[in-house]
Amino acid sequence: MASKTNVSLSESARAFLDRARRYCAHSEQCETGVRQKLISWGAPAADLDAIILRLRADDYINDTRYAIAYCRGKLIGQRWGRQKVLYQLRAKHLPKEAIEAGMAQVDDETYFSIMNDEAAKKLRQLGGEFTPDSRRRLAAFLASRGYTPSEIAHLVDSDVPFEQ
């Protein structure tokens, strides 16, 4: 793929660029993760910005594409709540527009179905009865998974919150 930038790189920087291209081609990556990986590989600090710029220009790094893949993987695959996913994306210093695009990938029906499934599974582990103690423990579990307090309250405070 021909580069769209005219930034010249030293021989060692080109080696790190090639390694970073292979790393980014393997799976979606964000700038923060690639920058950390380059540092761990020993890339010169003076070349980091040029390497990142080249990766962006060649479309190896794309914040929106990364946020979409990350949200799908965590919300659907790992079954995390929106709050936890949002916190993690912000920690990666992604632009607000990219985060919003990623969070929009999962519709409410799917999201709440996943939450109900997780709650039902946890309730079965707690003995299957909906007691004050199991409500408290279920609420703590859902909070640890990243569901918001209002989502948890709606589920836990209802008489029959979900299908078991």
**Residue range 88-126, pLDDT digits in tens:** 999 999 999 999 999 998 899 999 999 999 999 999 999
Alpha carbons 94 and 106: distance in angstroms, whole number: 19
The CATH number linked to 27 is 1.10.10
The CA–CA distances, whole Å, from 70 to 53, 67, 92, 123, 152 equal: 22, 5, 11, 28, 23
Which structural domain, as residue segments, surrounds residue 123? 108-156
Is 31 inside a domain boundary?
A: yes
- Predicted confidence at residue 1, as pLDDT, reads 45
The band of 164, judged by pLDDT with boundaries at 50, 70 and 90, is: very low
- pLDDT tens profile 57-93: 999 999 999 999 999 999 999 999 999 999 999 999 9
In 3D, which of 73, 59, 72 has the Cα closest to residue 101? 72
- pLDDT tens profile 128-145: 888 889 899 999 999 999
Tokens coding 78: 């790992």
- Predicted confidence at residue 162, as pLDDT, reads 55
pLDDT beyond 60 at 2: no
When divided into structural domains, the chain yields a total of: 3
Residues 49 and 73 in one domain: no
Is 164 inside a domain boundary?
A: no
- Predicted confidence at residue 152, as pLDDT, reads 94
Residues 72 and 92 in one domain: yes
In 3D, which of 149, 159, 162 has the Cα closest to residue 83? 149
Q: What is the pTM of this model?
A: 0.84
Residues 56 and 87 in one domain: no
Residues 92 and 134 in one domain: no
In the predicted model, what is the mean pLDDT of the chain? 90
